A and B are shown apart, each in its own frame.
Chain A
């Protein structure tokens, strides 16, 4: 295999990352900067004490999930149509995912740092402020988006694809519930009464998300391994 062939999966991964940075990345950073600027002015002029960036902190993982899903669905047909193998595409997508996870981690930590500097508490009540949590929270959402996208292309003509993708996302969003129920039934637990709140106390999210990340990566890899080129309507 010549050098051009050997390098092309990395070029594709870098290109996907660059394209996302130029669009979603720039929009997110610009929106956040504008928000902070406006809030800064309000703090000085009218003594405003709130911080609307807690909305961003809360939905950031879901945004990353959506970006990961949409990027896979858009990039897969172009890549296979241009003569890439699924293994090459998987490698390219892994590189892109790694960059997306790093960017998501950095962005959530930026929100935390700014919130601490301004003493606004933008991340109060949210899971993912600590660096290890920020990393696993970002990783599990990005890989869930990739797994859901891979399921959609794998079961191209099968109606079950939507259900399977939905199951993955539901499993992610409700991931703490089995642990909470298990904890309540355990000796010293709350017995029959379980209060569901997110994030729940006592649920080891970082470990759970790390395990789920591995599961989602495996699902995405296995789904892509035999995924057909999406069917084109005549």
Chain B
């Protein structure tokens, strides 16, 4: 079983400023979502509401079809793993792992297996761990929580590249073994792009886009070639970005339909895909959104 999640007209205020404003979002159960947004966009606030870490100022949040706030049956099966985890620093690593046993689904044997695989020193105090190892401990506890909705908020920070790769693979293996809903909040977009099924982009407290990854990938293209030919093909298209070096021009365009693709090919232009990260950068550019 895995949880769906719904936010209806959700607003979260910190004093006078809106961390989230009138957010409406539907997440189907059993998918891996990417949550993208610039710093301060509202990603952590959104995840905090889904995990009942805080109460919204207004609006309704349903997880698994039920209100999540103070709902024992739901929050016990929702895991939000924040950067560095929420541990008692004076605990040993082993004790910190065992704290997870308060969740009904927590798999201690799996957690200890992962701890061994990621070379976590069980006897060390949490406060003695390096930033990377602390992140690994948080990730291990998140995976072993066996929650129906698991959210990782920048949990990879401090991990080296091989460890991050191993974490993503373990996450995918666990997901294949036990389908559940996963939300990955990250700035390392291209690194996780292949694992995602849908992407949500948050910008200044609002949901900017929420689409399947394929939709994002089909949102545009990069055209490269002689400047005049590029300008001719791109005329009338929404240009996300452009670069020119001498007589060669490269533009990123949105809404790249088959007709335009044929014209570009006929003009001898090189047609490249738009990376998720590039698209994200363009979509959240302050000048595009009236900032």
Contact = CB atoms under 8 A, between A and B. Distances in A.
B86 A229 contact: yes
A86 B88 CA distance: 18
27 contacts: A2-B104, A5-B73, A5-B104, A8-B76, A8-B102, A8-B104, A77-B86, A81-B80, A81-B82, A82-B86, A82-B99, A82-B100, A83-B75, A83-B76, A83-B78, A84-B102, A85-B52, A85-B71, A85-B72, A85-B75, A87-B70, A228-B48, A228-B55, A229-B48, A229-B51, A232-B82, A234-B83
Contact of B54 (A5, A79, A84, A228): A228
Contacts of A74: 88, 90
Contacts of B256: none
Contact of A81 (B14, B72, B86): B86
Nearest to A225: B70
A228 B73 contact: no
A5 to B, nearest CB: 6
Interface in B58-104: 70-73, 75-80, 82-88, 90, 99-100, 102-104
Contacts of B88: 74-75, 78
Interface string B138-169: 00000001010000000000000000000000
B53 interface: yes
Interface of B: 14, 39, 48, 51-55, 70-73, 75-80, 82-88, 90, 99-100, 102-104, 145, 147
Of B90, B99, B147, chain A has the most CB atoms within 10 Å of the CB of B99
Contact of A83 (B79, B83, B87, B90): B79
Nearest to A11: B102
A232 B84 contact: yes
A88 interface: yes
The SS class assigned to the B binding surface is: loop
Contacts, number: 72
Contacts of A234: 39, 83
A228 B70 contact: no
Contacts of B39: 234
Nearest to B104: A4
A12 interface: yes
Interface in A76-135: 77-88
The SS class assigned to the A binding surface is: helix
Given A228-B53, A232-B83, A78 B99 contact: yes
Contact of A79 (B55, B102, B104): B102
A43 interface: no
A78 B70 contact: no
A83 B53 contact: no
Contact of B53 (A5, A12, A80): A80
A88 B74 CA distance: 13
Given A74-B88, A229-B48, A229-B86, A12 B102 contact: yes
Given A5-B104, A78-B86, A78-B88, A86 B77 contact: no
Given A5-B73, A85-B71, A85-B72, 15 more contacts: A8-B102, A11-B102, A74-B90, A80-B53, A82-B86, A82-B100, A83-B75, A83-B79, A83-B103, A84-B75, A85-B52, A228-B53, A229-B53, A232-B86, A234-B83
A81 B39 CA distance: 23
B67 to A, nearest CB: 12
A57 B120 CA distance: 44
Interface in A1-44: 1-2, 4-5, 8, 11-12
B241 to A, nearest CB: 28
Nearest to B90: A74
Contacts of B147: 83
A5 B72 contact: yes
B71 to A, nearest CB: 7
Contacts of A86: 70
A82 B55 contact: no
A8 to B, nearest CB: 5
